[in-house]
Chain A
Amino acid sequence: MSNTDITLARDNYGSSIWSFLIKEFKPKNKFFTPFNIISIPIMLLGLGIIVIRFWKGIGSVTNLTQEVPWGLWIGFDVVTGVAFAGGAYVITFMVYILNMRNFRSIVRVTVLNGFLAYIFYAGALLLDLGRPWNVINPIIGNGFGTSSVLFLVAWHFLLYILAMLIEFSPVVAEWLGARRARFILSGMTVGAVIFGITLSTLHQSGLGALYLMAKDKIHPLWYSEFIPILFFVSSIFAGLSMVIFEGSISNKVFFRQIDKKNHTQHNTIIHSLSKICAGAMFAYLFLQVLVFVHGKHWDLLNSPMGFWYLTEMIGFVLVPMVLFFLSYRNTNILMIKVAAIITMLGIIINRLNISVIGFKWDAASHYVPSWMEIVVTLAVIFTEIWIFRWIINRMPVLRASPSWVKDKIPDQQ
C-alpha cells in the first residue's frame, strides 16, 4: 500500500496523495456564478424537504394517493432520467463494438453522464421508497422476487452502475496518477461494455415492462404489450439527443478543458449522431404506428387524450425526426440541436404520459405533483450537475489524458 502511495505522490507534483486530494476538493473557479446563485438555494430547500419526508412520511411532501402511488419522482426522475442516460450504452456500443473511432472523444463524458444519472436517479428512488432500509433485501436474498420485473430492474441498476464505474475507472486512475491501476482497469473495459449493453437492453425495456400489469389503469393509446420494445428503441435516440444537448453545453462551458482537435471535431460528431437519431426515430415511429393500428383505437383519437396522443406522435416524434434528417442532409448543426431538444421534450412527454398523465386518466381526481416534489427533482438534477462539473474540472474527461498514458482510449491497440 505504501508503495502505491509513493508512486501516487511522485506523480502528483511531489505532494502526498492526501494533500493532493484536499487540494482537489477546493473549488477551482469563481464561486458566485449565475448557475451557483440559482442552484444553491434550490438544493438547500430540497435538502430541507427531504428531511421532512423522512421525518413525517412521503405523504407530507408529495401529492401521491392510494390510486396513484408513483408520481413525479418515479415517472420523471427514474423512468425519464434513465432513458436520457441511454447515451452511455449507445456510444460505448458504437466505439467498442462497432469500432467507430470517430466517437472516441465523447466516450468518457457520455459514460460519466450515464454513471452520474444512474447514481442520482437510483438515489431519487430511495427518496420514494417508503421503507428504504429494506432496499438491500432483493440483493441479500431476504426474498428473491424473481417473478418481478422490478427485481430485474433493481439488479440491473446495481450491476450497470458497477459496469459503468469500471468503464470510467481508467479516468480516475489517470487523475490519481495510478499507472498500474489504470493498466489493470482499462483491460476490463470491453468486458464491462458488453455486460453493460446487455444490461441496458434489458432494463431500458424493463422500465416499460413495469407497467405491463397496469393494463386497466393506463390509457389504451399508450398501453400495449409492446411497451418494453418501444421503451428500448426510444432510449436510443433519447440518449443520443442528450449526448448532443449535453455536448453542446459542455463545449461552451468547459471550453478550456477541450483540446483543439476534439473541439473542431464536435460538430462532425453531432452531424453523424443526427443520422442515427433520425434512423432510430423512424423505427420507433413505425413501431408506434403498427401498435396503434393493431390496437384498433381509431375512435379514441377524437378525444382530448387522442389529440394529446397525436401531439406527441406528430409534434414530438415525426417533426424532430424530419428535422434530424433534413439537418443531416444540409449539415445544419443548429437545427440538429433544436431537433435534439424537441426529441428530449418528446421523451419526457412520452414517459410521463405512461407513468403519470395517462395513469388513471379516467379517475375522478388527478395527481398533480406538489411544488415540493418539483423542488426535490430540481435539487437532484442540480446536485448531479455540480458533481459532473467537479469531475470535469479535475479528471481527464474532456481534456487529453496525461502524457504517460500510451493508449489514449483503452483497448484500441
Chain B
Amino acid sequence: MGTNRRNFLKLLGTAGFTMAVGKSFGALAKKKSPVEFYGILYDSTLCIGCQACEYACAEEYGLQEPQDEPQIGVVRKTDETRRLVINSYDTSKGEQYIRVACNHCNQPACASACLTKAMLKTEEGPVIWREDKCMGCRYCMISCPFDIPKFEYHSANPKIQKCRMCYERIQDGKIPACVETCSEGALIFGKRSELLEIAKQRIYAEPEKYNHEIYGETEAGGTSVLYLASVPFHELGFNTKIQKTSYPELTKGFLYSVPAIFVLWPALLLGLRQATKDNHIKEIENE
C-alpha cells in the first residue's frame, strides 16, 4: 500500500512538472507573432502588355533593357538577363497578356533544396538569393516547379538570377519597382490575405469577365504572387500539372527517416556482428 502511495505521488509530481514546463514552452512559442507574407496580385485583364514593368525591373537591377516585345506564338522566357517577362497568347477571349516571374511560394522548393540557405524565404514574403552563400549547385533549378531560378552559364563567377520582389525596397517601405511603374493597375502590392480578398471581390463583382480561379491561391501550397485572368490558365501557358500541396512536402518522409536510421542502424549492425561472431570462430577451428 505504501509503495503504491509513493508511486502515486511520484506520478503526480511528474505530471505536475510536465504540465508546468509544457505550459511555459507553449507561452514561449506564442510570443512570436504569426507571419503575414507580402505578395503581388497581377490582373491579366488590366494588363496592356506595355512592358513598363520589364523596363523598370531591368533598370532597378542593372540588367539589359528588353530586346523584344510580347508576340502571339512566341514564348518569351525569363533568363539570366531578365527576371520578368510579359507574354502574349491567343486565347478563347482574344489576345491576352500574362506576366512570368518568380511566384514566391509560401513554402518554396528552391529554398528547401538549398544546402547553404542561399535561397531564402524571408519573413516579409520575397524569396531571395544570397551571393555570399551560394555554391552554384543548381539544385534550386532542379526543384523549382516553375523553372524560375536562372544560372549564368557563361560567367566564371556565375550568379542565380531571379525576381526578389524588390526585397530591399520593401525593407525601405517602398513597393516593388514593377508594381510602382504599372500605370494600368494590373499589379497590386500588399498583404497576401488582402490581395486574395481583392481578387475574390473582383471575381464576384464581374463573374462574366473573370475565369473563376486565382492562380497561386493553392498552387504549390500557395504562392505570394497571385494571378487573375479572363480565361483558364492553361490557355496562358501556365503549368497546370503543379500540385496543390507544397513541394518540400515531397522530401519530408525521406528526411524524417534519417534520424531513425542513424540511431537504429548502428545498433542493428552491432547486434548482427555479435550474433554472427560464431561463424568465424568455427572457421578458425577449421583452419
- Residues of A that sit less than 8 Å from B by CB: 54-60, 62, 64, 66-67, 69-70, 93, 96-101, 128-132, 134-135, 137-138, 142-145, 147-152, 154, 190, 194-195, 197-198, 201-202, 205-206, 209-217, 225, 228, 412
Contact = CB atoms under 8 A, between A and B. Distances in A.
A99 B279 contact: yes
Contacts of B255: 147, 149, 152, 209
Contacts of A214: 142-143
A129 B136 contact: yes
Contacts of A195: 266
A27 B262 CA distance: 44
Interface in B142-178: 142-143, 145, 147, 150-158
A149 B153 contact: no
Given A198-B262, A225-B253, A150 B115 contact: yes
Best-buried of B142, B145, B239 by chain A (most CB within 10 Å): B142
B212 interface: no
Contacts of B114: 143, 145, 148
A149 B254 contact: yes
A57 B151 CA distance: 11
B272 interface: yes
Interface string B81-122: 000000000000000000000000000010111111110000
Contact of B143 (A194, A206, A213): A213
Contacts of A134: 116, 132-136
B118 A130 contact: no
Given A60-B154, A101-B279, A197-B265, A148 B273 contact: no
A54 B251 contact: no
A304 B145 CA distance: 25
B280 to A, nearest CB: 5
Given A99-B277, A130-B136, A137-B133, A152 B265 contact: no
B46 interface: no
B250 interface: yes
Contacts of B247: 213, 215
Best-buried of A132, A147, A148 by chain B (most CB within 10 Å): A148
B116 A56 contact: no
Shortest beta-carbon contacts, A-B, top 9: A130-B136, A59-B153, A143-B117, A143-B116, A131-B136, A151-B115, A69-B138, A134-B135, A213-B143
Contacts of B137: 128-130, 150
Given A130-B138, A137-B135, A145 B117 contact: yes
A66 B270 contact: no
A58 B115 contact: no
Contacts of B134: 130-131, 134
Contact of A216 (B135, B156, B242, B253): B242
A213 B109 contact: yes
Contacts of A209: 251, 254-255
Contact of B280 (A128, A211, A412): A412
B269 A198 contact: yes
B141 interface: yes
Interface of B: 77, 79-80, 109, 111-118, 132-139, 141-143, 145, 147, 150-158, 239, 241-243, 247-248, 250-251, 253-255, 258, 261-262, 265-266, 269-270, 272-273, 276-277, 279-280, 283
A27 to B, nearest CB: 36
A82 to B, nearest CB: 16
A205 B272 contact: no
Given A60-B153, A98-B272, A213-B142, 12 more contacts: A58-B158, A60-B154, A66-B147, A130-B134, A130-B136, A131-B157, A210-B142, A212-B254, A213-B247, A214-B143, A215-B243, A225-B250
A99 B277 CA distance: 6
Contacts of B155: 57
B116 to A, nearest CB: 4
Contact of A144 (B117, B132, B158): B117
Given A66-B147, A225-B250, A57 B262 contact: no
A140 to B, nearest CB: 10
A332 to B, nearest CB: 27
Given A137-B133, A213-B251, A202 B116 contact: no
A243 to B, nearest CB: 20
B120 to A, nearest CB: 9
Contacts of B242: 216
Contact of B133 (A58, A143, A149, A150): A143
Nearest to B267: A194
A135 B135 contact: yes
Best-buried of A100, A147, A206, A216 by chain B (most CB within 10 Å): A147
Best-buried of B137, B150, B261 by chain A (most CB within 10 Å): B137
Contacts of B239: 216
Contact of A212 (B141, B250, B266, B276): B250
Contacts of A412: 280
A205 B254 contact: yes
Contact of B254 (A130, A216, A228): A228
A10 B283 CA distance: 36
Contacts of A151: 115
A215 B251 CA distance: 11
A214 B158 CA distance: 23
Contacts of A215: 145, 243, 247, 250
Contacts of B158: 57-58, 130-131
A135 B138 CA distance: 13
A240 B70 CA distance: 56
Contacts of B138: 69-70, 130
A354 to B, nearest CB: 11
26 contacts: A57-B155, A62-B153, A69-B151, A99-B276, A101-B280, A129-B135, A129-B137, A134-B116, A134-B134, A138-B115, A142-B116, A142-B132, A145-B113, A147-B112, A150-B139, A151-B115, A152-B255, A194-B269, A201-B261, A202-B258, A213-B113, A215-B247, A216-B145, A216-B242, A217-B142, A412-B280
B234 to A, nearest CB: 14
Contacts of A55: 156
A135 B116 CA distance: 9
Nearest to B119: A145
B115 A148 contact: yes
A154 B142 contact: no
B113 A150 contact: yes
